[in-house]
Structure 1
Amino acid sequence: MNIHEYQAKELFEKFGVATPAGKVAATAEEAGAAAREIGGTGLVVKAQVHAGGRGKGTFKNGFKGGVHVINTAEEAQDIAGKMLGQTLVTHQTGPEGKLVSKVLIAKSVDIVKELYFAILFDRSKSAHSIIASTEGGMNIEEVAEKTPEKITKVPVHPTMGLQPYQCRKIAAALGLKGPLINQAVKLFSSLWNLYSKSDCSLVEVNPLAVTTDGQVVALDAKFNFDDNALYRQKEVTAMRDTSEEDPREVAASDFGLNYIGLDGNIA
């Protein structure tokens, strides 16, 4: 099961993961109100769909970009009005695109450095692992292929969990120094707490940003959850958006079945 970016922010806030302030909106008016509530200039409006490449995507109504930086509540309302109820096409959605029913209004930050941090279950080793890289904002598979030396992997003990010394090791590998190390250790520990207590199979923060005012914050995240553990994760289950899923998979799940659609035309 996947969740939207605004829902990921809600989990970040619940578990104490540093992230810029944000509000979700389902109408243009709500978007304007959210921008006023967050306050200041330098805000970003993000279309909420289960797909990457939103910034370079195009709506079927001709409007370009599912991510826009704005400075006023009026701009937020205007941009949201052009996104909501429209279909966004990205390199991950396919030509059919995805309908945008919500937008996220978030505080924009000035970034000094973009990093990558993920916690996942490594099936090849039957263990939880941390993957971190100095090359944030990029496809981690490309980094692994072209510059594998820029990736740090740390195994996590199944019962002891992620330890402070491991967090410091990761922070150092990412080139963080001074007060940034302590911030990173706290953030990594909070992410592990979120991952383990929410029955995640993946928490990917890309980018993990260092800001001009000396903060380490999680900007964007991707979550996957263990479907077999959702029965004990009522809050997470309530976040499910079936409109973003293959209708065949949704129908199968109603009967406790797993269904994976394949391409082809075999009758």
Structure 2
Amino acid sequence: MDIHEYQAKDLLKRFGVNVPRGGIAYSPEQAVYRARELSGEKCVVKAQIHSGARGKAGGVRICSSDDEISEAASWMLGRKLVTHQTGPQGKMVGRLYIEEATDIAQEIYLAFVMDRTEERVVVVASAQGGMEIEEISENEPESIIRSVVDPAVGMQNFQAREIAFQLGLDPSLINQATKTIVGAYRAMDELDASMVEINPLVVTGGGEIVALDAKLSFDNNALFRRPEISELRDKSQEDPRETYAEDRGLNYIGLDGEIGCIVNGAGLAMATLDMIKMAGGEPANFLDVGGGASPERVLMSFKAVLNDPNVEAILVNIFAGINRCDWIAEGVVRAVQELELTMPLVVRLSGTNVDEGRALINESGLNIITADTLAEAADKVVAAWKDARSKNGGAV
């Protein structure tokens, strides 16, 4: 789960990280009022969306008058900002962060990420801040500093000081930098974050170290014990397909294809996606219905898949162990009947109560294509999808 910049800064501030003063606004009038509260010559109007590169899309503006603030706020609010991270669909701006302008003398990149190879939290830092880490890696690879944190003791002051010295900071700033690095690590550790990124972390003209931008991502599996973090979730910034499925306990990831997938087990689901591509199709999603799926859960899975308007065919692939094929078949029949499904549907069942499940489908009298193997199912759903497309002039 991602959160907004202003929320990330509020959390980091609790752990001793210095952030600029600012306030949230939902209208141009409120934006002007927030700027007056800051009482500075200049302020920065920042669109709050779950994406980087907002500045390149016009989502960050420096303003020096009420008129400029109002104009910037009016332009941003209600607009979809398109960045290389949002994709062409963009993300809607529903709130703004009005922040005091900062006199920047130096920009630094600082992040804490999970390294699955090291099985540790790794600090990634660079004296070349203000850019995406991919740009830094390409343009200034020698500037990247990596430091592995021992989970038994956490980030220690001496380790943070070493990073600060490697960044080439003035000796007078080392204590501030140490406090910032340790504080950011504590935020990640104590809040169950999966990533903390401060880009840029700046040195001001007055000799302060300030987190000018911040991004925190959290492990969804840990949110049950972090209700204060769960409350920061902004569903308007998420893929509505994934939000619908997650709220109903389904493991779903939206993709860009046309063939919807309902599978049990993550491994089988991944194999199903591969087989569809090998057969010449494009999967529209990853969906794992999980073990012990009831007919009601199967029906919910169909609804989740059909929330994607690009879906033109569906493949149900079940290898039942904990599940039962007759439960799955009952759910499939209900889904076709209740949702009045007309698009091609291929069902492959194997495992517990497979004969009973196949009998339910065969006796239903519905237009459901069956298959015995995954390869056969993938071939049949791609063929049926292409056939339906050709009959409907390129659309199902």
TM-score calculated relative to the size of structure 1: 0.93
8 Å CA contact retained: 1:35, 1:72 = no
If asked which structure has higher relative contact order (CA below 8 Å, sep 6+), I would say: 1
Q: Which residue of 1 aligns with 2:205?
A: 212
Cα pair distance change 1:124/1:257, threshold 3 Å: farther
Partner amino acid, structure 2, of 1:238: E
Q: Which residue of 2 aligns with 1:43?
A: 43
* Pairing 1:132-143 to 2, within 5 Å after superposition: 132-143=125-136
Equivalent in 86, 94, 111 of residue 104 of structure 2: 111
Q: Does 1:257 align with 2:250?
A: yes
CA deviation after TM superposition for structure 1 residue 144, in Å: 2.5
Alpha-carbon separation, structure 1, partners of 2:146 and 2:216: 19
Q: Does 1:163 align with 2:138?
A: no
Alpha-carbon separation, structure 1, partners of 2:156 and 2:215: 23
Q: Any stretches of 5+ residues in structure 2 without a counterpart?
A: 260-312, 314-396
CA deviation after TM superposition for structure 1 residue 146, in Å: 4.4
- What is the DSSP-based 3-state SS (H/G/I as helix, E as strand, rest coil) of the residue aligned with 1:185? helix
Percentage of identical aligned residues: 50
Alpha-carbon separation, structure 1, partners of 2:60 and 2:136: 24
Cα displacement string for residues 101-150 of structure 1 (whole angstroms, at most 9, x for unaligned residues): 10010011121111111111111111111111111111212323443321
* Pairing 1:1-267 to 2, within 5 Å after superposition: 1-57=1-57, 65-266=58-259, 267=313
Q: CA RMSD in A?
A: 1.4
Partner amino acid, structure 2, of 1:54: R
Q: Which residue of 2 aligns with 1:61?
A: none
Cα pair distance change 1:148/1:102, threshold 3 Å: same
Alpha-carbon separation, structure 2, partners of 1:103 and 1:179: 35
CA deviation after TM superposition for structure 1 residue 98, in Å: 1.6
CA deviation after TM superposition for structure 1 residue 221, in Å: 1.3
Cα pair distance change 1:145/1:68, threshold 3 Å: closer
Partner amino acid, structure 2, of 1:52: G
Cα displacement string for residues 87-106 of structure 1 (whole angstroms, at most 9, x for unaligned residues): 22223222322211100100
8 Å CA contact retained: 2:202, 2:209 = yes
- What is the DSSP-based 3-state SS (H/G/I as helix, E as strand, rest coil) of the residue aligned with 1:101? coil
Query: 226-235 or 75-84: which moved more?
Result: 75-84
Which structure has the highest helix share of the two?
A: 2
Cα displacement string for residues 39-80 of structure 1 (whole angstroms, at most 9, x for unaligned residues): 1112100111112221121xxxxxxx1111012334323321
Alpha-carbon separation, structure 1, partners of 2:236 and 2:254: 16
Partner amino acid, structure 1, of 2:17: V
Alpha-carbon separation, structure 2, partners of 1:98 and 1:149: 34
8 Å CA contact retained: 1:88, 1:97 = yes
Q: Which residue of 2 aligns with 1:60?
A: none
Regions of 4+ moved over 6 Å: none
8 Å CA contact retained: 2:128, 2:140 = no
- What is the DSSP-based 3-state SS (H/G/I as helix, E as strand, rest coil) of the residue aligned with 1:154? strand
Partner amino acid, structure 2, of 1:46: K
CA deviation after TM superposition for structure 1 residue 222, in Å: 1.5
8 Å CA contact retained: 2:108, 2:202 = yes
Q: Which residue of 2 aligns with 1:62?
A: none
CA deviation after TM superposition for structure 1 residue 14, in Å: 2.1
Alpha-carbon separation, structure 2, partners of 1:257 and 1:132: 37
Alpha-carbon separation, structure 1, partners of 2:135 and 2:35: 36
Partner amino acid, structure 2, of 1:251: Y
8 Å CA contact retained: 1:84, 1:101 = yes
8 Å CA contact retained: 1:116, 1:137 = yes
8 Å CA contact retained: 1:131, 1:153 = yes
Q: Any stretches of 5+ residues in structure 1 without a counterpart?
A: 58-64
TM-score calculated relative to the size of structure 2: 0.63
Partner amino acid, structure 2, of 1:172: F
CA deviation after TM superposition for structure 1 residue 38, in Å: 0.9
8 Å CA contact retained: 1:112, 1:212 = yes
Alpha-carbon separation, structure 2, partners of 1:25 and 1:105: 7
Q: Which of these two proteins has the greater Rg computed from alpha carbons?
A: 2
Partner amino acid, structure 1, of 2:190: K
- What is the DSSP-based 3-state SS (H/G/I as helix, E as strand, rest coil) of the residue aligned with 1:18? coil
Aligned length: 260
